Amino acid sequence: MLLYNFNRDEKDMIMLKIISTTPYTDQKMGTGGIRKKSKTAAQPNYVENFIQSLFDAIGGVKGQTFVLGGDGRYYNNIAIQKIIKIAAANDMKKLIVGQNGYISTPASSNVLLKNHADGGLVLSASHNPGGENGDFGIKYATKTGGQCSSQISDAIYARTKEIKEYKIFDTPDIDLSKIGVQKLGEMEIEVIDPVKDYVAMMEKIFDFAAIKKLFQNGFTMVFDAMNAVTGPYALKIFEEVLGAPKGSVLNYTPKPDFGGLHPDPNLIYAKPLVDLMYSDHAPDLGAANDGDGDRNMILGRKFFVTPSDSLAILTDNYKYIPAYKNGIYGVAKSAATSTAVSRVAKALNIGYYEVPTGWKYFCNLMDSKRVTFCGEESFGTGSSHIREKDGIWAVLFWLNIIAATGKSVQEITEEFWHKYGRSYYLRFDFEGIDTTVADKLMADVESKLSHLVGKTFAGYEVSKAYPFIYNDPVDGSSTKNGLIVCFKDGSRIVYRLSGTGTSGATLRVYLEVYEQKRLDEQPLAMLENLTKAAMEIAEIQERTGKTKADIIT
Ligand code: G1P
Ligand code: ZN
C-alpha cells in the first residue's frame, strides 16, 4: 500500500510503503540476535519482518540514532539496504553506517558508545561460515553498547510471530562507499570509517610506542583475518601504525563467503595459521580473529595458549597496560571457562564472578564497575572499554606484555603455570544431535546430579554436582545455564547445550584437570580418564550413538 510521497522530483521520489506480511515463527533470538541459514534469512520479507518487529518491540525508533554495519558476509549488502530503508520509514533520526556496510562487532560497540547512540545492528553470524549455503545473522545491541536482555529478545520474538506489516521506503539503494552525510527522507545517514575510531581507542589503551619498538627490534607476528571483517583493522594497526613487517596480516580482504574458510579462530578452523606456527619458520606470535572480530586465538612459536589461560594471564599482567596500570576492578568468566583466572583474582585480591555463557552476562558487572576484564573459553576476551569481546584488543594486550617483559608467549605462559599451577582444559562438542535426544540427555543428567556425589567414574570421585544458576547482582535476574560436576581432586565437567547453532543440537562438554606439578603434559592425555567419566555420566554414546566428540577445542 502506497502511503505518501515526499514533494520531490519525480526521478528520486521516495515512497513510504506499508507492506503486509505473514509472521515468522523461527525468529527466536539466540545470544544477542538471530542467526540463521543464509537461505532462510534471504527469504522474501524475512529481514524486514525481524527489523520491524525489533523496532516495534523496543517502542519504536522515532528520533533515535543507530549504528549499522556487518562483517561482509553473503547478504550483508542486501540486508543493510533493507534496514536503512525500514529505519527511515520508521522515522529514525540518524543511522551511522560503516563504510561499504562493514563494521566489526567491537568497533560497532565503540561507535555506539562514543556517539551515545540508542542502538546498534551488526549483520553477522559471528564465527559461523558465510556464503549462500552458510549462515547469516543480525545482532542487536542496546544503548549500553552490549547485547539486549532476554526480556527484550523475548519481546522481539513475540512480535515476529504476530507482525502483519512493515514500513519501508521504496527508493534506490544508498551509496555506502563514500564517507560523509546523506539523507533518506528525513533520516540522516552518516557513512563513517569505523577503523579510524577503533585505532584511536586502542592507542589510548595500549603502549603503542613500546610495541612499535618491539617490531623495530625484529619481532615478528602473523595475524590471520580469515577473509573476514578485521582485515582492514589489522592492516592499519599492526602493519601501518605499529610497523609490523608487510605481509604480517593474512587474508585481510573481507569476502562474502570468507573465501570458503570457517572464520572461527581455533586449532581446527585456523589450521593454516596453526601449521605455520608449528613449523620451523614460525613468527614470534600468531593470532586470528573470527568473522565479526570479537573472538581471538593466540599462539607462540610451536605453542598454543588456551583462551582460559589467556584471560588469566592478561589479568595477571594488567599493570603493563597504560589504561589499567592504576588498578582493575575485577574479573569475570563464564562458568564453562577453566578456573585458572579464579586463582589470579584471589592472588590480586580483586572481584571475581562466574556467569552463564554469553557476553551479555558480563555487561551489568562492567557497568557497575565490578569487573574490568571478562573472558570465555570460546576464544572471547575483552574489557570494559566496550561492551563486547574484542579480538584485536586481546592481540594488542599480548603484544604489550611481550614488549614490556621481553619474554616470549611460551615463557609468559609457562611462568604463569609455575606461579599458579595449570588447568588442563578442553571442550568437546557433539554436533548435530536430534534436539529431543539432547534435551532429554540434559534433563536426565540434571535429575540424577545429587545421586552422583560420592560415586566414582573412571577413577574420578564426584564431590559436588549442581545445575549452574547465576543470580545477577545488579538486576536480580536469575539464569540457569549448564550442569557442573566437580571431583575430589579439583577436576570439573560442565555440560551444556549450545545456544547458537542453526541446525540440530550441539552438546558441549567442558573438561578441566588442575595440576600443580606436572606442567608439561599433553591436554588430551591428561583429560583421557575424565573424558571417559564424562561419557559415562551423561550416557553420551548410548543416547547419541557417538563414541567421540566431533570437534575438540
Ligand atoms: C558460543 C560460545 C559462547 C559465545 C557465543 C557467541 O555459544 O560457546 O561462549 O558467547 O558462542 O559467540 P554457544 O553455542 O555455546 O551457546
Ligand atoms: Zn564473533
**Pocket mutation for ligand 1, best pick of 124, 390, 500 (most atoms within 8 Å of C-beta):** 500
Backbone angles phi, psi at 304, to 5 degrees: -115, 135
The minimum-distance atom of ligand 1 relative to the CA of 126 is 12
Tell the residue nearest (CA) to atom 13 of ligand 1: 498
Looking up cell 502506497 gives: 2
Query: Grid coordinates standing for 356?
Result: 552463564
Q: How far is the CA of 244 from the centre of ligand 1 (A)?
A: 32
Asked whether the predicted pLDDT for residue 152 surpasses 80, the reply is yes
Asked whether the predicted pLDDT for residue 460 surpasses 70, the reply is yes
How far apart, in whole angstroms, are the C-alpha atoms of residue 194 and residue 191?
9
Mean pLDDT of the chain: 95
SS3 assignment, position 398 = helix
Q: Is the CB of 357 within 6 Å of ligand 1?
A: yes
Q: Is the CB of 500 within 6 Å of ligand 1?
A: yes
Q: Are 61 and 92 in contact (CB under 8 A)?
A: yes
Alpha helices in 223-306 (DSSP H): 231-234, 271-277
The pLDDT tens digits of the residues spanning 494-509 come to 999 998 777 799 999 9
* DSSP one-letter code for 241: I
Q: Which ligand is nearest to the CA of 376?
A: 1
Q: Is the CB of 31 within 6 Å of ligand 1?
A: yes
Catalytic residue numbers read: 126
Q: Are 67 and 80 in contact (CB under 8 A)?
A: no
The pLDDT tens digits of the residues spanning 379-402 come to 999 999 999 999 999 999 999 999
Q: How far is the CA of 54 from the centre of ligand 1 (A)?
A: 22
Asked whether the predicted pLDDT for residue 223 surpasses 80, the reply is yes
**Mean pLDDT of the 343-363 span:** 97
**Tell me, what's the pLDDT at 6?**
47
Work out whether strand 135-142 and strand 33-37 pair parallel, antiparallel, or are unpaired: antiparallel
Q: How far is the CA of 501 from the centre of ligand 1 (A)?
A: 9
Query: Grid coordinates standing for 404?
Result: 614490556
Q: Are 38 and 136 in contact (CB under 8 A)?
A: yes
Asked whether the predicted pLDDT for residue 426 surpasses 80, the reply is yes
| pLDDT-derived band at 4, boundaries 50, 70, 90 | very low
**Tell me, what's the pLDDT at 184?**
96
Of the chain, the percentage scoring pLDDT greater than 90 comes to 93
Asked whether the predicted pLDDT for residue 13 surpasses 90, the reply is no
**Mean pLDDT of the 440-465 span:** 98
**Tell me, what's the pLDDT at 12?**
55
The minimum-distance atom of ligand 1 relative to the CA of 290 is 12
| pLDDT-derived band at 267, boundaries 50, 70, 90 | very high
SS3 assignment, position 164 = coil
**Mean pLDDT of the 124-134 span:** 96
Asked whether the predicted pLDDT for residue 5 surpasses 50, the reply is no
**Mean pLDDT of the 245-256 span:** 97
Of the chain, the percentage scoring pLDDT greater than 70 comes to 97
The minimum-distance atom of ligand 1 relative to the CA of 496 is 15
Asked whether the predicted pLDDT for residue 30 surpasses 80, the reply is no
Q: Is the CB of 498 within 6 Å of ligand 1?
A: yes
The pLDDT tens digits of the residues spanning 159-170 come to 999 999 999 999
